[in-house]
Structure 1
Amino acid sequence: MAVYGYARVSTTDQDLTLQEETLRNAGCDVIRTEKASGTSRNGRTELDTLMQFLRPGDTLMVTRIDRLARSIGDLQDIVRELRTKGADLKATEQPVDTSTAAGKAFLDMLGVFAEFETNLRRERQMEGIAKAKAEGVYKGRKPSIDAAEVRRLRDQEGLGATEIAKRLGIGRASVYRILEA
């Protein structure tokens, strides 16, 4: 029966040290870390590795539930998968322990609040973008593809979309989109 720690932050400029220390002090034998969004399980390879590795009687430990999932659906999927494997989930900073009825109930409440917080943040962001657009301030993300270079490669060098895409390291569909605009 091993205790595995999982630490996550959302952006590359955030630090995992405090989570790692907390998990180590809580008795984690192995700690996996990653810098990825918690709104989805997509691209979270360290979590996937841990989930595949867990055996009956093992415990997955996090500092807080929002480090594991920001969506109640993902959280429920993870807990269901842990239950199927015969493993438990615990949090160091919250009274979450899926081996107890109270811990399971508290986990569900925390999951709802984590998703609620994510939805509020998204709403505020969309409101800010709408306001900026209305004021003519918001221009969106800067183009990552140099449209002039795409046209130059076609017009001056006579290259086709496939070769342009290869040279610039972009998708062929992006080349077509620029040339048709």
Structure 2
Amino acid sequence: MRRIYYGRVSALDRQTAASQYADADEQGIKHSDVFIDEGVGGYHVSPSERPQWQHVERGLRKGSVLVIRWLDRISRRYDELHETMQRLMKKGVRVECTLNGMVLDGQEADPTRKAVRDAILAFIAAQGEADYRYRRENQAQGIAAARQAGKYKGRKPAVDYAEVRAYHAEHGGSVRALAEHFGVGVATISRALNSDDTSSK
């Protein structure tokens, strides 16, 4: 039975990659089975666009165990998290969360327990996205108030968002391919493509 640890750290996360490596060590998972995506947001970058997650999903088979700190390491979006977890459940993967010991077992055969498992999963996925949106809204309000008071200048993006969108409109390509072309992270490209800004200022 293979046990794989997956972690994800974005620039905005309070946790560090080191804390998740330590978490994997505490679970007795060997380093070759630890995969952590760094500098990747859980809302703007889908699991399919993350190189380490791709290694994880390819390595999971029936009877495998996926160990994560919490489900938001996979995604903060309801649809993405729900679909990904259902895919893992159908594979027969057991998912263990180290934060609170919660287990979601893809090999559960009892229909009532499966229904409870899926209901809990759906609730957690929905609550995770709602919490993220609420925090972002509060952050945006705080920044707007600081700007109005002349106390917030913001941080200059690593790439010109308009240039990214123009290049994508002309050449296409995946988020990962664009990130490699511009020499930035996939999270930066995702923000650029989803931004309404006309410049990087």
TM range (shorter): 0.5 to 0.7
Q: CA deviation digits over 1:20-48, x for unaligned, max 9? A: 22223223341101111111315311012
SS of corresponding position for 1:94: coil
Q: What residue in structure 2 maps to residue 74 of structure 1?
A: 80
> What CA distance in whole angstroms lies between the structure 2 residues aligned with 1:79 and 1:138?
39
Counterpart contact for 2:6–2:68, Cα < 8 Å = yes
Counterpart contact for 1:8–1:68, Cα < 8 Å = yes
Q: 1:1-181 residue pairs with structure 2 within 5 A?
A: 1-11=1-11, 15-29=16-30, 30-35=33-38, 36-39=40-43, 40-41=45-46, 43-99=49-105, 101=113, 104-132=118-146, 134-135=148-149, 142=156
Letter in 1 for 2:54: D
CA apart distance, 1:10: 0.9
Letter in 1 for 2:68: V
Counterpart contact for 1:96–1:106, Cα < 8 Å = no
SS of corresponding position for 1:27: coil
Counterpart contact for 1:23–1:92, Cα < 8 Å = no
SS of corresponding position for 2:95: strand
> What CA distance in whole angstroms lies between the structure 1 residues aligned with 2:12 and 2:51?
15
Number of aligned pairs? 149
CA apart distance, 1:121: 1.6
Q: CA deviation digits over 1:46-87, x for unaligned, max 9? A: 012111221111111101222222122111111122123221
Letter in 1 for 2:19: L
Higher RCO structure (Cα 8 Å, ≥6 apart): 2
> What CA distance in whole angstroms lies between the structure 2 residues aligned with 1:104 and 1:91?
15
| TM-score normalised to structure 1 length | 0.66
> What CA distance in whole angstroms lies between the structure 2 residues aligned with 1:117 and 1:134?
26
> What CA distance in whole angstroms lies between the structure 1 residues aligned with 2:129 and 2:65?
24
Mind listing any 5+ residue stretches in structure 2 that lack a counterpart?
161-180, 183-197
Mind listing any 5+ residue stretches in structure 1 that lack a counterpart?
146-168, 171-176
Q: Give the aligned CA root-mean-square deviation in angstroms.
A: 3.1
Q: CA deviation digits over 1:158-178, x for unaligned, max 9? A: xxxxxxxxxxx98xxxxxx99
CA apart distance, 1:90: 1.3
Q: CA deviation digits over 1:91-147, x for unaligned, max 9? A: 0122421116355544333323321221012211332344355556666664867xx
Q: Which moved more, 1:60-69 or 1:105-114?
A: 105-114
Identity of aligned residues (%): 28
Q: Which moved more, 1:134-143 or 1:45-54?
A: 134-143
